[in-house]
């Protein structure tokens, strides 16, 4: 038998889940920062599919390694600060992409964006708990 209280989630739960959902949506939006630009980046910089794909490999490798490190940062400085830092890294990656003049800059964009992406799961789980 369900009670009236269990039928509706408390307002605080809705607020927390909305915050986490928004942060996660930002993360997935930035996953798509580079791939739609691949045809133009390949043409402008004379890159192969392998070379341009390496930018995403850098993104995900940095993100995977950074998640463990981000967990320590979340414990030390708090989830809100670390999430803000991750979003700042994504913004910096977008600005670096606008300034890119070669493959090294594109690789740097992948790394900085991966660093920004690494904070979302550790911070999200902390906020949910």
- Taking the chain (129 residues) in runs of 10, the rounded mean pLDDT of each run is 58 82 81 85 94 94 94 91 91 94 95 93 79
Q: Domain range holding 65?
A: 36-128
Look at residue 23 in the predicted model and tell me its pLDDT. Answer: 77
- The total domain count for the chain is 1
Cα gap 4→67, rounded to integer Å = 39
Q: Would residue 63 count as lying in a domain?
A: yes
Look at residue 79 in the predicted model and tell me its pLDDT. Answer: 87
Cα gap 22→15, rounded to integer Å = 11
The whole-model pTM stands at: 0.82
Q: Would residue 19 count as lying in a domain?
A: no
Close Cβ partners of 113 (under 8 Å, ≥ 6 residues apart): 30, 33, 34, 59, 89, 90, 93
Look at residue 28 in the predicted model and tell me its pLDDT. Answer: 83
Q: Would residue 8 count as lying in a domain?
A: no
Q: Would residue 9 count as lying in a domain?
A: no
Q: Would residue 30 count as lying in a domain?
A: no
Q: Would residue 27 count as lying in a domain?
A: no
Determine the longest span between alpha carbons in the chain, in angstroms.
Answer: 66
Report yes or no: 34 and 60 within 8 Å, Cβ to Cβ: no
Q: Would residue 71 count as lying in a domain?
A: yes
Close Cβ partners of 104 (under 8 Å, ≥ 6 residues apart): none
Look at residue 54 in the predicted model and tell me its pLDDT. Answer: 96
Look at residue 6 in the predicted model and tell me its pLDDT. Answer: 56
Q: Would residue 25 count as lying in a domain?
A: no
Token pair, residue 35, equals 């791939």
- The DSSP output letter for 87 is H
Report yes or no: 122 and 67 within 8 Å, Cβ to Cβ: yes
């Amino acid at each position: 038998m369900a009670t009236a209280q269990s039928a509706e989630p408390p307002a605080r739960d809705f607020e927390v889940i909305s915050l986490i959902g928004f942060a996660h949506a930002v993360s997935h939006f930035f996953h798509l920062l580079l791939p739609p630009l691949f045809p133009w980046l390949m043409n402008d910089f004379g890159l192969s599919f392998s070379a341009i794909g390496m930018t995403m490999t850098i993104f995900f490798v940095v993100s995977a390694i950074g998640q463990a490190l981000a967990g320590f940062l979340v414990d030390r400085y708090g989830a809100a600060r670390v999430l803000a830092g991750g979003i700042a890294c994504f913004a910096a990656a977008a600005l670096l992409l606008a300034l890119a003049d070669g493959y090294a800059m594109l690789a740097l964009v992948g790394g900085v964006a991966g660093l920004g992406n690494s904070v979302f799961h550790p911070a999200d789980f902390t906020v949910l708990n």
